Amino acid sequence: MNARDAILQRIRSGLSTGAPVSPPPVPEVWPTTDASTEQLIERFTGELEAVQGEIVRCATMQEARQKLATLHGESQWQRIGSADRPLCRELAGDLPPEQVVWAQEGWASNEIGELSAGLVAAERLLADTGTCVVECGTPEERLLCYLPPVCVVIARVEQLAEHLPAAWEEIARRTAEPDRRGEFVLITGPSRTADIEKILILGVHGPKRLVVILVG
């Protein structure tokens, strides 16, 4: 008996007895390997750099604050727009207050696009694809991921997950909360576009540069 026949047989049996038909078990598409933290960091770093993303490793938040201040100076950023999240507030602590603009309701998209960089906090990092999972509670936070030419993502080492299925239970639980608004955005490297000649161009449909600051 093949899989189709087995499913039909279970349906017929359920209908004949009036009992509810339970769904088949969910196959394990991406098995968990219980990788170590260092293995996850190495995998995430390799996948991120493969798509022209940058990673900055910092042992402490104080070091991360100094790194962001260095990036700010070296890149000659004028103003940074940031999601108003505790981790972002902590990271931006060493920057001049007048050079940090916090996301606000009704923020015009052209104003966001004129910022030098956008700062957002990741909820999870997916090691197998070098992806940042960012919760955007408002349209303004979502646009911070796309419109400025540079996107800076802050995350802690303990937020690393092997792949999306390993983080899915937590994400699904949070999206099911009745009062939660917004969406989760998956960021994998800077914007990449290739034409028919296979010439790769960065930054056409989103930020040209992605920097992930990993603390821990």
Buried b (16+ CB within 10 A) or exposed e, 71-100: bbeeeebebbbbbebebbeebbeebeeeeb
> Residue 213 and residue 53: Cα distance in Å, rounded?
11
**pLDDT value at position 175?**
81
Tokens of 30: 């991406």
Strand partners, 55: 212
Mean pLDDT computed over 123-139 = 94
CA dihedral 30, 31, 36, 37 (to 10 degrees): 30
The answer, yes or no, to whether residue 179 has pLDDT greater than 60, is yes
The answer, yes or no, to whether residue 57 has pLDDT greater than 80, is yes
Strand partners, 24: none
Model's pTM, two decimal places? 0.82
* Domains delineated in the chain: 28-215 (3.40.50.10420)
The per-residue pLDDT for range 182-207, each reduced to its tens digit, is: 889 999 988 877 777 777 777 777 78
- 27 — pLDDT class (breaks 50, 70, 90): low
For the residues of 57-113, what is the DSSP string, one character each? EESSHHHHHHHHHHHHHHTT---EEE---HHHHHHGGGS-GGGEEE--TT--HHHHH
Tokens of 19: 């009992």
Buried b (16+ CB within 10 A) or exposed e, 147-167: bbbbbbbbbbbebbbbbbbbb
Tokens of 176: 């099911």
